[in-house]
Amino acid sequence: MDLIEIKDLSVSYKIGYKNIKILDNLKLNIKKGEYVCIVGSNGSGKSTLLKAILGLVPYSSGLISINCKKSKISYLPQNSDILIDFPATVSEIILSGTQNTESIFPFYKKRDKLLADDAIKRAGVDSLVKRRFGELSGGQQQRVLFARAICKKPEILILDEPCTGLDPEISNSFYALLNKLNKETHTTILMVSHDIDSVKKYATKVIEINKKIMFYGTTREWLKMKTDG
Amino acid sequence: MVKNENGWLSYMSINEIIEILSYPFMARAIIVGILISLCASLLGVILVLKNYSLIGHGLSDVGFASISIAVACGFSPIYLSTPIVILASFVIMYISQSKKINGDIAIGIFSTGSLALGVIVTAISNGLNMDVYAYMFGSILSMNNTDVFMSIILSAVVLTLFILFYNRLFIVTIDESFAKSIGINIQFYQFLISLLTALTVVIGIRMMGTLLISSLIIFSAFIAKKFVRSFKSLMFLSATISILCFLIGVLVSLLLNIPTGASIVIVNIIVLIISFIISKISDSISLCKN
Ligand SMILES: Nc1ncnc2c1ncn2[C@@H]1O[C@H](COP(=O)(O)OP(=O)(O)O)[C@@H](O)[C@H]1O
Ligand SMILES: [Mg+2]
């Protein structure tokens, strides 16, 4: 049994009275510990696929089964819902990433605080913890949300273009950190990325989509296909 | 202000106020008022940040309808308005979430419909009698033992639920899709927020009246928002502002002999204006520094 199994998945959005098919008959299996990158042009349905896996958008047909606890999945969205003028500090936001649905009353325990501290160090946001989230730069906010996503030590980490708007140096340290998580703790990584260099360097598998799956296989096969034309 | 025997308007003297404050009905009123202010201000933080603040307004009109029905039938309004307002809050939340109807429109339909119903019931039964008038504008000093008892119980329910679910309410308020992605049942929390709002409106009506209760929910959170960095300090500041405005409002209402609810609203508005000036001044000071 693979970690994520997707069969005949179709997703449509209702726009006015019309149903527009965004994803058409996808089939995918992702194994534990893989580092999978999703590529494709703008509007090809990459974010929609992630959202369907996370249960954020309903799907019209097919089956998605995820063989780990829901609380072991973490997500870094392409655009977060957090409003700029929302009064919350960086540390409040990161700590909230430790919440899961296993306890009914979500009080933070000592362990949660340690996990958050660890994530803060890994994401390099130590100096920001007391700041108000809304006053940070876009790149800093992204790092904070990254810390929130990794702090509960997820089994599956789903990221949607995590490095857009970051300078190259920070992007590289991001990818290195992801790679470390993937190698050391066997965190399965499923990431939408436009950064071909990092895909080449770290990904074990590549999914290319454009409404349908155009390619799904190892990174080497994908590169070969691209150079062969 | 009251007319004294010479026909002149006069203010209440300090001695008279001290005497009034020592009456047991006054002590009860202040305890209940503090509890209501606390509930409204904490909940207000969530409603203001989530742009749900109109819900309180819609529910207070539903409260008006249920109270006029209760008064017409001759039983204690709080027993009828509690279930009706809770039910209405669920229906409003359900309709706003279904996305087919805009939430504001749903609230607009509910509140005008309720007002119309309330006015018709009142007109048919007795006309605008003293009871209905008291519920429209609030009369904290005329609370009976049932009112006090129910207010304390309901505030305790609101505060307990709020504290138990504080961290969840935070995550649902700040980032709904992240909360959903980690498996949190968003709908449950939307209904919890509705329930808490309904309870706060029901207990707040006695003090503020149906016409003014929603202001108690909105003001303090809105004022506090400009001055804080964290969610937790927003809660504390909102609660503090709300309780202080309540106490000052009661005092002013006694001094000038004006209705308590209206007096609390005016105090809130004055604090809002002052806070606006302070934040403008501190903005320009920090601009000068840079
Ligand atoms: N909530 C939505 N309602 C309607 N259409 C949407 C919605 N979200 C995305 N779409 C449409 O679905 C298509 C795929 O979007 P998306 O998955 O975000 O693409 P990508 O992430 O690959 O750029 C786009 O054409 C977009 O306009
Ligand atoms: Mg996208």
Burial class (CB in 10 A: 0-12, 13-18, 19+), B232: middle
What stretches of chain B adopt beta strand conformation (E)?
A: 2-3, 9-10
Per-residue pLDDT at B8 exceeds 70? no
Instruction: Calculate mean pLDDT across residues B4-23.
Output: 66
Instruction: For ligand 1, atom 2, name the residue with the nearest CA.
Output: A13
- The whole-number pLDDT of residue B11 equals 63
| Tokens encoding B118 | 């309330």
Kindly report the CATH class assigned to B2-283: mainly alpha
Tally C-beta pairs within 8 A across A and B. 84
Distances (CA, A) of A150 to A115, B51, B103: 9, 30, 35
Instruction: Calculate mean pLDDT across residues B6-11.
Output: 48
Chain A residues touching residue B234 (CB < 8 angstroms)? 87
pLDDT tens track for B267-286 = 999 999 999 999 999 888 88
- The whole-number pLDDT of residue B161 equals 94
pLDDT tens track for A194-206 = 888 899 999 999 9
pLDDT tens track for A47-60 = 999 999 999 999 99
Q: Which of residues 220-249 of B touch A (CB under 8 A)?
A: 225, 228-234
CB under 5 Å of ion ligand 2: residues? A 47, 78
- The whole-number pLDDT of residue B127 equals 66
Per-residue pLDDT at B163 exceeds 60? yes
pLDDT tens track for A93-109 = 999 999 988 877 789 99
Q: How far is the CA of A130 from the centre of ligand 1 (A)?
A: 35
Per-residue pLDDT at A131 exceeds 80? yes
ipTM of model: 0.90
pLDDT tens track for B197-247 = 999 999 898 888 888 898 999 999 999 999 999 999 999 999 999 999 999
- Contacts of residue B217, defined as CB under 8 A and 6 or more positions apart, other chains included, come to B40, B41, B43, B44, B47, B53, B56, B197, B200, B201, B204
Per-residue pLDDT at A74 exceeds 60? yes
Domain ranges of chain B: 2-283
pLDDT tens track for B86-126 = 999 999 888 887 766 777 888 888 889 999 999 898 888 87
Instruction: Calculate mean pLDDT across residues B286-290.
Output: 75
- The whole-number pLDDT of residue A33 equals 95
Nearest CA in chain A to B234: A87
Q: Which is more confident, B10 or A220?
A: A220
With pLDDT > 70 as the criterion, what percentage of chain B qualifies?
93
Q: How far apart are CA A116 and CA A152, in angstroms?
A: 8
